[in-house]
Structure 1
Amino acid sequence: MTITRRNFTKLAGAAAATVLAAPALAQGKTPIKMILNWRYQGPQAWFFLAKDNGYFDEAGIDLTMDQGNGSGAAVGHVAGGAYDVGFGDVNALIRLAGTSPEEAPICVYQMYNKPPFTVAVLADSDIQTAEDLQGRLLGGSANDGALKLFPAFANVAGIDTSDIEILNFKSNLREQMLKSKEVEGVFGYVNTIRFSAKLSGMNPDEDIRFISYGDYGMDLYSNGLIIPKAMAEESPEMVEGMVWAINQGVKDTLADLDAAVDAVAAREPLINKEIEKERLIATLRDEMNHPELATTGLGNVDAERFKEAIDLVVKANALPRSPDPSEIYSDAFLPADDERIYKLL
């Protein structure tokens, strides 16, 4: 079933009838289990602030959040039923919908509207362009969003991947593997690598060169809030409340960046708060600040650009079908236009 504003009223009515039939459930909070994209870091602060400031409670949600092991993996965890909600890469969702549409979840709040995907190489390497990746040893976590998109990037950039070797390793080893030259390039999100490299003692502005997918025409969206279609159909008011709560968390993050980082530190006391604040600011500026924000607002997509992004992923991965945009994303649960963020830092 396609989730649109047109049938949202009908769905909400059905959900209300269900609540009236089960008053005991209505009095309590709905337990929701969420998988994040990565370890606890600055760019997850809005989720923690939303919880700490009581917005999920207001929405009747008892939210539990777990650290993730990749943006692509988050989509699979939701599709497989291990988690109710994921903060994951919409391109992994497109690939799943292109092969197994009955299993695919749906995105209801698109947060990252600029492509963060990159291959990072050492600045003193002779790898200058995408073409120079041919014949190299690259590495990354198997669930990394940039690694999963590499076949699409290779197609767009005209790279012959037949002699490229890819080594899989745990995500926490990535920057060290690059620094020690055990691999010649690593996959990841640009700001994840940039600030993790900084934590490892590197100067990312001097020591690292980024071969970024967006520079080669891959104008993609990335992370958003992913939920099962059944949840969207059966519990629309709860989904609307969850999206509202996260939107409020983003507002609070923008209002007080230090409080936002403190919310992360409350979950992971060993973080470097100064660097996580820098990572948060860079994410807001680089991954969430597409010019379309001025008209779409945070959480929404530009319909034409989104369709082009789907077509690019479908073609580059030779998917057996091209999902309709309504299979991938729904705006039915967004807060009112004047409640969403139209300008970041």
Structure 2
Amino acid sequence: MLHRTILAVALTSASAVHSQTNLPFTLDWRFEGPAAPYFAAIDNGNFAALDLNVTVAAGDGSLDAIPKVATGAFPVGMADINSLIKFLDQNPGAPVIGAMMIYDKPPFAIIGRRSLGIDDTPQSLEGKILGAPPPDGAWAQFPIFAAENDLDVSAITVEPVGFPTREPMLAEGNVAAITGFSFTSYLNTARLGVPEDDLVTLLMADHGVELYGNVVIVNTDYAEANPEVISNFLQGVAEGWAAAIADPEAVIPLLISRNPAADAELELRRLQLSIEDNVATEWVMENGFGIIDDARLATSLDQIATTYEFVNAPDASLYFTNAYLPEGGFSLAE
């Protein structure tokens, strides 16, 4: 009788595991602090409770993640919505769309040193050397930032730099400022020994840039065939972010278990900065997590058009859908 009971339990467990939908998810970047919420959703059982077996893959930028989802190699992923907009303009009809806004404020920023003449005003960049990696997402938005703040770009010397040398050049004083993600370049420069009170962050979103940031993207063919899977996935993502916001320290070990070489203290700071500056914004806390403001998206399209020539007339409905979100989005309170 005991053997039959054990066998029945084993078969039931196997059936439960088998019933879960395997869902590979690609990030746009490496396993750093802001990736911890997705591991929290896995390890805390949020995805499993929704009958999902989610696996997370590291990425190498939005231009790497978007094609992975568009081709169906990954049904879901993470990418910068501005890169997605340009991708869809250049690849009309590609089966990919934004389905859940994560960064209400994008982390595009200028990181400068006060000792080298950079202060809290964009105009302080004039007459200085700005280090910018050509493929950098923040550098791609710099023309909008410059236009919104009436900067004399001819008075700014732009020094093309590589990603590995960007923060070292700022730390060594070879450039007065750099473009980058706020929570990445700031902390990486401080880690190189630059006192934090010597660093200034000019978040582009605080200086006239109305763009959105990273968004969960879905393959539209997969989503249309599996709408409940996508809705459940987005719910699990929201629960993971709610856990990270409630206790950032608790989710960092889940990240470190996937990236043992990472500095836990550094990644905690990175996660906290992303929460404060990009995710749990005043607008999100008042209106809901995951949704967008249609008027703001329209404004962002106008801003993109100031530096990018659309091949096709921009259409907001091609870039974001709330079809898989609850009305009013999610609450970030656990």
TM-score, normalised to structure 2, is 0.82
* Alignment correspondent of 1:201: 193
Contact 2:108 2:180 in 1 (8 A): yes
* Alignment correspondent of 1:156: 148
Q: Which of the residues 157, 169, 192 maps onto 2:162? A: 169
Contact 2:109 2:179 in 1 (8 A): yes
Give, in angstroms, the shift of residue 196 of structure 1: 2.1
In percent, how many aligned pairs have the same letter? 29
Rounded Cα–Cα distance in structure 2 between residues aligned with 1:149 and 1:199? 26
Amino acid at match of 2:99: V
Are 2:195 and 1:188 equivalent residues in the alignment?
no
| RMSD of Structure 2 on Structure 1 (CA) | 2.9
Rounded Cα–Cα distance in structure 2 between residues aligned with 1:80 and 1:173? 33
* Alignment correspondent of 1:16: none
Q: Secondary structure at the match of 2:201?
A: strand
Rounded Cα–Cα distance in structure 2 between residues aligned with 1:245 and 1:333? 12
* Alignment correspondent of 1:242: 233
CA deviation vs aligned residue, 1:145-169 (integer Å, no higher than 9, x gap): 2122223333333445567544241
Can you give the 5+ residue segments of structure 2 that lack an aligned partner in the other structure? Answer: 1-14
Contact 1:45 1:261 in 2 (8 A): yes
Q: Which of the residues 267, 270, 289 maps onto 2:261? A: 270
Question: Closer, same or farther in 2 for the Cα pair 1:80/1:133, shift >3 Å?
Answer: farther
Rounded Cα–Cα distance in structure 2 between residues aligned with 1:77 and 1:159? 37
Question: Closer, same or farther in 2 for the Cα pair 1:134/1:73, shift >3 Å?
Answer: farther
CA deviation vs aligned residue, 1:230-264 (integer Å, no higher than 9, x gap): 22222212111211111111222233322211111
Rounded Cα–Cα distance in structure 2 between residues aligned with 1:103 and 1:152? 26
Alignment of 1:1-345 (within 5 A): 27-71=18-62, 73-79=64-70, 81-103=72-94, 105-128=96-119, 129-131=121-123, 133=125, 137-159=129-151, 161=153, 164-170=157-163, 172-204=164-196, 206-335=197-326, 337=328, 340-341=330-331
Q: Secondary structure at the match of 1:270?
A: coil
Rounded Cα–Cα distance in structure 1 between residues aligned with 2:71 and 2:205? 30
CA deviation vs aligned residue, 1:255-301 (integer Å, no higher than 9, x gap): 33222111111112233323322222222111123332244201011
Bigger mean CA offset, 76-85 vs 294-303: 76-85
Contact 1:69 1:143 in 2 (8 A): no
Q: Secondary structure at the match of 1:287?
A: helix
Can you give the 5+ residue segments of structure 1 that lack an aligned partner in the other structure? Answer: 1-23
CA deviation vs aligned residue, 1:290-319 (integer Å, no higher than 9, x gap): 332244201011222222122221233232
Rounded Cα–Cα distance in structure 1 between residues aligned with 2:306 and 2:73? 30
TM-score, normalised to structure 1, is 0.80
* Alignment correspondent of 2:7: none
* Alignment correspondent of 2:10: none
Rounded Cα–Cα distance in structure 1 between residues aligned with 2:147 and 2:72? 32
CA deviation vs aligned residue, 1:162-204 (integer Å, no higher than 9, x gap): 675442413x443212212344432211122222223333223
Q: Secondary structure at the match of 2:99?
A: strand
Give, in angstroms, the shift of residue 48 of structure 1: 0.4
Bigger mean CA offset, 152-161 vs 308-317: 152-161
CA deviation vs aligned residue, 1:47-66 (integer Å, no higher than 9, x gap): 00111122333334333322
Question: Closer, same or farther in 2 for the Cα pair 1:202/1:154, shift >3 Å?
Answer: same
Rounded Cα–Cα distance in structure 1 between residues aligned with 2:243 and 2:33? 14
Q: Where in structure 1 do 4 or more consecutive aligned residues deviate above 6 Å?
A: none
Contact 1:247 1:340 in 2 (8 A): yes
Give, in angstroms, the shift of residue 117 of structure 1: 1.1
CA deviation vs aligned residue, 1:51-86 (integer Å, no higher than 9, x gap): 112233333433332223334543344335554322
Question: Closer, same or farther in 2 for the Cα pair 1:97/1:156, shift >3 Å?
Answer: farther
Question: Closer, same or farther in 2 for the Cα pair 1:227/1:173, shift >3 Å?
Answer: farther
Rounded Cα–Cα distance in structure 2 between residues aligned with 1:343 and 1:284? 13
- The structure whose Rg is larger is 2
Rounded Cα–Cα distance in structure 2 between residues aligned with 1:29 and 1:141? 42
Contact 2:239 2:332 in 1 (8 A): no
